[in-house]
Chains A and B, each alone.
Chain A
């Protein structure tokens, strides 16, 4: 589903590569934790998948498309295949829960009929039924992140990228969020989650890819956060 072949990324005005010579293969339907300290290259890895950044060297393949050589006008189509969740939720403060989720479909030109059907389903799945009319500031952090996940998933993308989705949440809420992601994963969605939340990684026992200074230093199935380094 996602494949990195000898990928290096050097940011302009930086001497040290953010990623160097990364080889990584993520299969369809996998749940992968990408762990590592701040600045180890986790976010860069996700940004390369989204083509928010271009690679310096190597090839990135996402859903069968070579991302590096993808022309600008085809980038939107790539991003429709990928849902994205961030640490800071990124909800629209003047739209309510329902509108925030519907927005993702409206800008893709989905019909009102389809939107009225899919949005309530998705909200129910993330456990927000009955809160459609709330504005983001009337919700707890965990609920806001559920809205963000609903928005990322409402278009049923085959890939869901999560960049420290629990970074702003307390441990119990964090675990709820990851359980939700796990449920989504079971519908066949590939999930890549960058995190440095060791509790969660240890509890879920999923594949763990550890980055350090832009290199992969560990890649194990059913791994834990701390071992090996």
Chain B
């Protein structure tokens, strides 16, 4: 079939079925948008994991004079106890990467700086945060080795692992990811069903043309191609709009998030260019397969 003739047939078909072609486009747009959000959220989780796990620390809080921790028994850590903890940590290399000591004054200053906008900082006094070792690990997943080694050791009030806190955050983000991918899946199903219905209707409304095509001996490919092309065109237009939507989201919404999360790295518009080809490819395959399968059923020779 000649290109020009085929294009004119497609144009006629789309004009005749404009409303339903638009609905295919919109449903595809929403499903691809959700899918994109899901992928970007997953990408965000991965980036943040990498970023934070690198900085993750186990904090060994030592006993202060007013510590309420059971292990302290109301006594502050002695200098010998602190030195022995220090040497124990040094012996744990290479598991332990770095050890920083933070005095009560330093801890107080850091808290004041971090929460300078919060009323909490007004009530804090030096000594409320005990002196502590901040331990950076070579493999953050092995934090439990350090935790078990120091929990209950003399002079240690509490061992705190940031990973637990982070894991909660990541669980929330994973739920967002799974939720949006689940919704995207439903929407993709909707768009598949809608495409199938569209093609059924188009095949019915053009049965005269296809009937004549069959009679004069046009090949199956020729008869079916305009239907497939119309569906693919509608689906890809929707996908294109969805990608534009994702880009706008990343461009205008994410900067606001990054204002909250300070220097944490975020997915950005560049990630969308990475995801976009996959989304386009996916929708292309889905629309071609759906239309071909539907035509096999409703447009027999």
Contact = CB atoms under 8 A, between A and B. Distances in A.
A8 B262 CA distance: 83
A106 B220 contact: no
Contacts of A92: 208-209, 212
B218 A76 contact: yes
A131 to B, nearest CB: 20
Contacts of B1: 106-107, 109
Given A109-B1, A109-B222, A90 B211 contact: yes
A200 B235 CA distance: 55
B220 A73 contact: yes
B217 interface: yes
A84 B215 contact: yes
B301 A75 contact: yes
B2 A112 contact: yes
B218 A107 contact: yes
Interface size class of B (residues with CB under 8 A): 10 to 19
B220 A76 contact: yes
A103 interface: yes
Interface in A49-77: 50, 72-73, 75-77
Chain B interface mostly: helix
A78 interface: yes
Most-contacted residue by chain B among A50, A106, A111 (CB, 10 A): A106
Nearest to A51: B301
B49 interface: no
B213 interface: yes
A106 B2 contact: yes
B5 A104 contact: no
Nearest to A94: B12
Contacts, number: 61
A108 B216 contact: yes
Given A107-B218, A107-B222, A90 B212 contact: yes
A108 B213 CA distance: 9
A104 B212 contact: yes
A106 B216 CA distance: 10
A195 interface: no
Most-contacted residue by chain A among B1, B216, B220 (CB, 10 A): B216
A107 B301 contact: no
Contacts of B208: 90, 92-93
Contacts of B223: 107
A177 to B, nearest CB: 19
Contacts of B212: 90, 92, 103-104, 107, 151
B219 interface: yes
Nearest to B16: A94
Given A90-B211, A90-B212, A107-B222, A79 B2 contact: no
Contact of B217 (A76, A90, A151): A76
A79 B211 contact: no
A82 B214 CA distance: 11
Contacts of A81: 217
A90 B209 CA distance: 9
Contacts of A206: none
A155 interface: yes
A205 interface: no
A80 interface: yes
A108 B215 contact: no
B6 to A, nearest CB: 9
Interface string B196-211: 0000000000001101
B69 to A, nearest CB: 81
B217 A80 contact: yes
Contact of B213 (A84, A93, A107): A107
A78 B211 CA distance: 15
Interface string A143-160: 000000001100100000
B50 to A, nearest CB: 53
B215 A79 contact: yes
Contacts of A90: 208, 211-212, 215
A107 B216 contact: yes
A113 B224 CA distance: 25
Interface of A: 50, 72-73, 75-84, 90, 92-93, 103-104, 106-112, 151-152, 155
15 contacts: A76-B220, A79-B214, A80-B216, A90-B212, A92-B209, A104-B216, A106-B2, A107-B1, A107-B213, A107-B216, A107-B218, A108-B216, A108-B218, A112-B2, A152-B216
